[in-house]
Amino acid sequence: MRNNPPSFNALCNDLEQALQTRGDAWRIASLATLSNNRPELRSVILRTLDIDKHLLTIYTDRRSEKVNQLIKNPECALLCWCPIRQQQLRLSCIATIKFEQNNVWLTLSANQRKDYATIIAPGRPLQNENADMEIGFSAQNFCVIECNINHIEWLRINSDGHLRARVSPEESQWICP
Ligand SMILES: Cc1cc2nc3c(=O)[nH]c(=O)nc-3n(C[C@H](O)[C@H](O)[C@H](O)COP(=O)(O)O)c2cc1C
């Protein structure tokens, strides 16, 4: 039996559906950046996916290390794993940092806004475990990381045989798992 590998649009559709589903494992990705040629990884929540523009968004604090790293080197990767689907997505992306995203800011709840309200920048030392907040600063600390997806590597784990494909907007190719 010969099947076609998944298309870029089909994978983006699945991911976009996942982002709208509370608790879907694909909503939490590992974001990889480079810091002086050394890899750095952290978990992030994928917020939106514009399928036509191939653009994924992540919300973050503009003072965070990942923002500095992406300004210096916009090449990045996102990794999603879903134990229910038994599928892994490896997204190869170019990031752009978007400041002054007031339209997006207005959609955040009061609780979400607190994530950007610490007086001391993320990653800096504290006197104790509590970071003081000034909610008035939070809007200016908020930014959006826009990830333009170049290609996706898709893997489905299955006891009958794994399936793996390299998928771009132009073409999809089965590859050896
Ligand atoms: C489940 C989970 C989701 C997270 N989502 C985000 C997120 O959407 N944006 C973000 O900036 N940090 C998020 N974080 C925190 C990051 O993993 C990281 O600790 C923080 O952003 C600092 O990273 P940096 O110093 O590399 O910039 C999340 C952490 C966890 C555990």
Q: Ligand 1 pocket by C-beta < 6 Å: which residues?
A: 28, 40, 42-45, 58-60, 64-66, 122-123
Centre a 10 Å sphere on the Cβ of residue 38 and count the other Cβ atoms it contains: 8
pLDDT in tens, the chain (177 residues): 699 999 999 999 999 999 999 999 999 999 999 999 999 999 999 999 999 999 999 999 999 999 999 999 999 999 999 999 999 999 999 999 999 999 999 999 999 999 999 999 999 999 999 999 999 989 999 999 999 999 999 999 999 999 999 999 999 999 999
CA dist., res. 146 & res. 59, Å (int): 9
Instruction: Please tell me the predicted confidence (pLDDT) of residue 88.
Output: 98
Query: Which tokens is 138 given?
Result: 């939070």
Instruction: Please tell me the predicted confidence (pLDDT) of residue 18.
Output: 98
Give the Å distance between the CA of 128 and the centre of ligand 1: 20
Which of ligand 1's atoms lies nearest the C-alpha of 64?
A: 27
Q: Which fold has domain 8-174?
A: Pnp Oxidase; Chain A (2.30.110)
Instruction: Please tell me the predicted confidence (pLDDT) of residue 149.
Output: 98
Instruction: Please tell me the predicted confidence (pLDDT) of residue 22.
Output: 96
Instruction: Please tell me the predicted confidence (pLDDT) of residue 32.
Output: 98
Give the Å distance between the CA of 59 and the centre of ligand 1: 9
Instruction: Please tell me the predicted confidence (pLDDT) of residue 141.
Output: 98
If 0-12 CB within 10 Å is exposed, 13-18 middle and 19+ buried, where does residue 103 land? exposed
Give the Å distance between the CA of 151 and the centre of ligand 1: 23
Give the Å distance between the CA of 32 and the centre of ligand 1: 12
CA dist., res. 64 & res. 36, Å (int): 16
